[in-house]
Amino acid sequence: MAKISDRLADRTGMGEAIIGAVFLGGSTSLSGIVTSVTAAASNHPGLAISNAIGGIAAQTTFLAIADIFYRRANLEHAAASVANLIQGTLLIALLSLPLLAIATADISLFNLIHPVSILLVITYMAGLFLTSEVQAKPMWRPRRTEQTRFDEPDQVAMRSSLVRLWSQFIILAALLAEAGYFVAKSGLAIANQTGLSQSVVGGVFTAVVTSLPELVTTVAAVREGALMLAVGGVMGGNSFDVLFLAISDVAYQKGSIYSGVSIDEIFPIALTILITAILLLGLLRREKYGIANIGFESFLVLVCYFGGYLLLFFQ
């Protein structure tokens, strides 16, 4: 999928940041969507929400792991772009909305969904429009250095068939979506048989499993030298993942899904906002080299993610 997306970015002229944010990020999130919707339809709101938010935290952490595979410089330095900065800022805005919904969980439209679920979709679409607009007419650009890798068309990709590329992409995306159903059923069985909370099962187990496509595609994109695609795929996929909550809210049969949320689900949302803010700081600061040849921000992301979920697990 990473190779096909890289070629589509060149062949369509959309660029790696847009293809990564919209198509690669969205398609690798399909298994997570199916997992959350299946959990919500089975009246397990905790698993649905923790899977969605836990997946975002895991995918952001995968960028830090991908940083290890890029030896020339820190990934935050080499892959800085306006589109990725906007996607990260959009993600923080989207993640704040579920917190508002949880604080006003009794509000619902027609006793079905919370108004915030509709606002999530509107905000996401507005963010995509803004990203596309800035990509076409940027008001500023990150300063180019020897280690910076910009999106440049590949001649082999330009000769590829668009029909064949899109067909391969759709088939692979369908396989990911099908896998999500079985992950959800397995997660529910683990929660029931082990006694672990839905927050732990969703945030740690199903979220990481449904996020593995992002890990593979991110590392593959970095190894291919498509750094904008790697960062854009994660940042854009994370923004898309927040929509899991809106879709799960529709699938949940007992009113607003936020009314069934416990205090445990607030922790991963706050942790994910923190991790995203750290990554944004890395993209702005653009440190060339850091701890163990990864950015200091990548190191902080790893510490926050594993430390945060260890705390949640033992709590």
The boundaries of the domain holding residue 53 are 2-314
Which tokens hold the place of 252? 């949940």
Number of domains the chain is built from: 1
Residue type, 144: R
**Which CATH number belongs to the domain containing residue 161 in this structure?**
1.20.1420.30
**Phi, psi for residue 237 in degrees, rounded to 5:** -65, -35
Write the DSSP symbol of residue 262: -
Q: Which residues contact 68 (CB under 8 A, 6 or more apart)?
A: 292, 293, 294
Predicted confidence at residue 293, as pLDDT, reads 64
Please tell me the pTM assigned to this model: 0.76
Q: Helix/strand/coil (H, E, C) string of 116-172?
A: HHHHHHHHHHHHHHHHHHHHHCCCCCCCCCCCCCCCCCCHHHHCCCHHHHHHHHHHH
Helix (H) / strand (E) element for 247: namely helix 227-251
**177 vs 20, 199, 222, 229, CA distance in Å?**
18, 22, 24, 21
Per-residue pLDDT of the chain (315 residues; tens, 9 = 90+): 777 877 887 777 776 667 766 777 777 777 788 888 888 888 888 888 888 888 888 888 887 777 777 666 666 656 667 777 888 888 999 999 988 888 887 787 877 788 999 999 999 889 888 877 777 776 666 666 655 554 455 555 555 678 888 888 888 888 877 877 788 778 778 877 887 777 777 777 888 887 787 778 777 777 777 777 777 777 777 888 888 888 888 888 888 888 877 777 788 888 899 998 988 887 777 666 666 667 677 788 889 988 988 887 777
Predicted confidence at residue 141, as pLDDT, reads 67
Predicted confidence at residue 142, as pLDDT, reads 63
**Phi, psi for residue 109 in degrees, rounded to 5:** -95, 120
**Phi, psi for residue 174 in degrees, rounded to 5:** -65, -40
Predicted confidence at residue 82, as pLDDT, reads 76
Predicted confidence at residue 77, as pLDDT, reads 57
